Structure 1
Amino acid sequence: MRRGVIPYLTKIAHGSSPFITTFLLIHLAPPALANLGGSSLSSQTMLLGREYYQTNFGEKYLVFAPIAIHALSAFMKRVLSGPKNPPRPAWSVLTITGYATMWLLLPVHFLVHRRFPTSSTAPILEVGPSELDFEFVKVGLRAWPWRSALLYGGLVVCVVLHVADGVGVMWNVYLAGGSWGRRMKRSVRRYRRAGLVVGVALPVLSGLVVLVREPIFAFASTVKRFEAVFLMSWVYRL
């Protein structure tokens, strides 16, 4: 019986992927655009993107729900498959990047950038969405350069590699039939990781370099509030 559930879990995991991918493209576009217009363009683009994903409906049902459904269905699929017949090896890129993202990088990122800024305690005093732009990111990169670089860079690389291998899995399931599909499968397998790293991860990471080289334009009092937000995370208190 439990084996019969696995195909449904696979479809659920695959069905949630387009929502997550859409969110990622919107969320990663602003730092990438820093290469063209610095923090000003990045912040403007981010504020526009929030119209999609940071609303009462959008955040719950277009971001949190798909991520939770995707992670839970993949986890249940592994549990129900048993240790002798896992969906894929535990050391595969897809599995490692998924676990690293869900259990370490994403929780830290969410708490620091979404939950902790809402604290009403001094000196944070509820950093509002209009204040939480890329000046916040710059403060983190300036005050904790190595930790911030590893967290941002690790999250971006893990997400991009996970998407790249996820594309390969979905291609095998839905599009690999026939001679055309087999030829395209070889091309996709060869270029998907390199293409996504060069096309997505590299512009985002180079955008962060542009941001850290800029001066901080926020008021000194605002910088202290930003630093207090970061210090609420155990990562930045080490």
Structure 2
Amino acid sequence: MDSRSLNTKSSVETFISLMQLDPAPIETDKDLPPLPEEAADADSTTAASIANTSASGSTGSSLGLSGSGHGAVYYLARIQRYSSYAFSIFTTVHLATTSIVPLLTRSVSSSESYLLLSREIYQTRISEPLLVAAPLAAHILSGLALRLVRRSQNLKRYGGATPGVMVPAKSRGRGREPSAWPQLTYTAAAGYGAAAAVFAHAFVNRGLPLLVEGDSADVGLAYVAHGFARHPAVAWVAYTSLLAVTAGHVVWGWARWLGLAQGAAWDSSAAVVGRDVRKRRRRSWLLINGGALVGALVWAAGGLGVVARGGRSRGWVGDLYDAMFQKVWL
């Protein structure tokens, strides 16, 4: 007898392994097949669709919106992905001049000139909307829209029960059912936290100077250092929160785009996966979290280790910074 036949798994374990699927990466944008009634409606309008397609086929084909069969999930997923590419350009330049350069120069004043030069890249009338505002808004709104669309699909097709999700035995007796909302991953949760932290950071460093002075030309690393010196508790909590959630979201997000995060986990049920698979998932989990930790430490070394210790600004510049902070009750 073949030795492999003696090592087969029970049918129950096989069934569980089929039900407990790993969350699909964000770029997996396959739409569900149409319901029978939707298929009937589609058949009734096929002739009209063919006529309309032949009339406007060249325009629709050039835009990729005609005859592709793609739905809202397809386009929203691509908006979410490609908007992160554009915003990553700004993030890379900004972190280089506000963290890595201060770490190398060990001086706030010596790093100011590099920050001013970088503003010519991402803080002009054209580049700021294209590289900062529009990609950030598109990334957040498309992510929210994806959750709403997928929830609508679950409600329509499964009556509120998300397919492939098994209800724990202790929850069945309480009458609890699986939620129709898509699973909120740690990456998505960190993204919502990062969005709030980024908006607060942008308001204090960009919006507040515009509201008070009408310009942000006098705001740089010395402004941040002054804030740490005058309001250390608030500054440390805000900056540490921004650093932690943003580093985690960015590294895990890029790991998903590169296909490295699929299946990455520390804990895996032995009844579902084998030892080799579990080890591979743990290695991926450690690699991604290690990358996030390294990125956060480098960011903190320049931002918290150098800029935060720059001290107060004196004279009229310090008075100007104090007047700005007073507008937000600091």
TM-score (norm 1): 0.81
Query: After superposition, what is the alpha-carbon deviation per residue over 1:151-208, rounded to whole angstroms, capped at 9, x for unaligned?
Result: 11211221111111111221239x99xxxxx9x998654312212331x321221222
Structure 1 segments of 4 or more deviating over 6 A? none
**Amino acid in the other structure paired with 2:321:** F
Task: Find out whether 1:221 has 2:290 as its counterpart.
Answer: no
Residue 153 of structure 1 corresponds to which residue in structure 2?
A: 240
Task: Find out whether 1:143 has 2:230 as its counterpart.
Answer: yes
Task: Find out whether 1:35 has 2:129 as its counterpart.
Answer: no
Aligned residues of 1:89 and 1:95 also touching (Cα < 8 A): no
Structure having the higher helix fraction is 1
Q: For 1:47, which of 99, 112, 116 is the aligned residue?
A: 116
Query: After superposition, what is the alpha-carbon deviation per residue over 1:198-226, rounded to whole angstroms, capped at 9, x for unaligned?
Result: 1x32122122222233343x332211211
Q: For 1:205, which of 297, 300, 313 is the aligned residue?
A: 300
Query: After superposition, what is the alpha-carbon deviation per residue over 1:125-168, rounded to whole angstroms, capped at 9, x for unaligned?
Result: 44541x21111001110111121111112112211111111112
Residue 111 of structure 1 corresponds to which residue in structure 2?
A: 203
Larger radius of gyration: 2
Distance 1:167 1:189 in 2: 14
Aligned residues of 1:16 and 1:66 also touching (Cα < 8 A): yes
Q: How does 1:69-218 map to 2 (within 5 A)?
A: 69-82=138-151, 84-85=161-162, 89-90=183-184, 92-102=185-195, 104-120=196-212, 125-126=213-214, 128-129=216-217, 131-172=218-259, 189-198=285-294, 200-207=295-302, 208-216=304-312, 218=313
Distance 1:151 1:186 in 2: 31
The percentage of aligned residue pairs carrying the same residue is 25
Aligned residues of 1:14 and 1:70 also touching (Cα < 8 A): yes
Aligned residues of 1:119 and 1:126 also touching (Cα < 8 A): yes
Residue 179 of structure 1 corresponds to which residue in structure 2?
A: none
Q: Considering only aligned residues, what root-mean-square deviation do their CA atoms show, in Å?
A: 2.8
Aligned residues of 2:228 and 2:309 also touching (Cα < 8 A): no
Distance 2:192 2:288 in 1: 21
Extract unaligned runs of 5+ from structure 2: 1-30, 33-70, 152-159, 163-179, 264-276
Structure 1 position 42, deviation (Å): 2.7
Cα distance change on mapping 1:87 and 1:135 into 2, 3 Å: same
3-state DSSP of counterpart to 1:209: coil
Task: Tell me how many residue pairs correspond in the alignment.
Answer: 220
TM-score (norm 2): 0.60
Query: After superposition, what is the alpha-carbon deviation per residue over 1:60-96, rounded to whole angstroms, capped at 9, x for unaligned?
Result: 1111111111111111001111175578532x22121
Aligned residues of 2:190 and 2:248 also touching (Cα < 8 A): yes
Cα distance change on mapping 1:20 and 1:215 into 2, 3 Å: same
Extract unaligned runs of 5+ from structure 1: 177-181
Distance 2:216 2:254 in 1: 36
Structure 1 position 35, deviation (Å): 1.8
Distance 1:101 1:118 in 2: 23
